Amino acid sequence: MSSNKQSQITFLDSIFLSAFVIFIQITSLILTSQAIEFYTLLPSYEPAGQSTSGSILNSFILIIFTFTMTTIMLMLIKFRKLLILKILMILSIGIGTFLTSYIIFNLIFYNVVSSNIIFLFSTILSILGMLSFIFPSKNIYTMLTAFILASLYGTSLSLFIKPPTVLVIPVFFGLYDIYTVFRGPLKSLINESQNNFNLNPMVVNIKNVTIGLGDLIFYSMIPSVALLLSDLFVAFVIIFVISIGIHLTLYFLRKFDLFPGIPIPIFLSIFTLLLII
């Protein structure tokens, strides 16, 4: 997360951010609940296996991929290959949104509507997801894109990554977030892009707070995991815990201007979830 240096983070900023996150979480819970009957039958991302060591290796695979993508973006900005970067981001957002929504809605509505309608709906979502590139100065489109992506990706991660990996990955990404914000490529990427490239929708402005799309995805993912592993009550407990974590993060953000958004909410929510289940 980062803050607008010209404005102090207010209580209203916190409320707006919490409301936006909860809206995403509820949407993800609705999507997840519709697919819950197929959960045990779905294939899973666990290339290194389901053991503890395998879960750690699975996490490292995703972190290395994230680190590589961030580094590539940073190099493209440094060498002023901005058109290439924009094309790559448009393609990744457009294709990723279409494929994820098509898979999820086929799963949910396979016997309700035809595949052609799902294809059309997924195409519309993909186009909506790319609006932030077409209208970069309109924050409402960035928020819409972030909402679509965080809801879809949070749902898909909870469905297609199984325990224990699904509980280990957020913890390792929280540790990675600390590194990448203070020392790693993310800090350099934000600094380099300030005057050269608009990172929307990878970041979204909520009043005076700027939050990363990755943060929103994990905030969306953990309550859905709680629903799959326990019940709806536990999922809402996790939403409440994440909200507390977000407010604690905003407290530190007032002191640092740039502070990792994943660790506090996710560490608190994973710890709570492990205590309950």
The pLDDT > 90 percentage for the chain reads 50
Tally of domains within the chain: 1
**pLDDT tens digit string along 129-173?**
888 777 777 788 888 889 999 999 999 999 999 999 999 999 999
pLDDT of residue 4: 63
229-235 mean pLDDT: 95
Question: Minimum mean pLDDT among 16-25, 43-52, 256-265: which range?
Answer: 43-52
62-77 mean pLDDT: 88
DSSP states along 174-205: HHHHHHHHHTSHHHHHHHHHTTT---TTSEEE
What residues pair up with 28 in beta bridges, in sequence order?
Answer: none
pLDDT of residue 78: 83
**pLDDT tens digit string along 87-104?**
888 899 999 999 999 999
202-221 mean pLDDT: 89
| 209-212 sheet: strands from edge to edge | 2-3, 209-212, 203-206
Whether pLDDT at 242 is above 90: yes
Domain boundaries, position 241: 2-276
Contacts of 108 (CB under 8 A, 6+ apart): 31, 34, 35
Q: Which residue has the higher pLDDT, 108 or 216?
A: 216
Whether pLDDT at 1 is above 80: no
Question: Minimum mean pLDDT among 131-135, 178-182, 265-269: which range?
Answer: 131-135
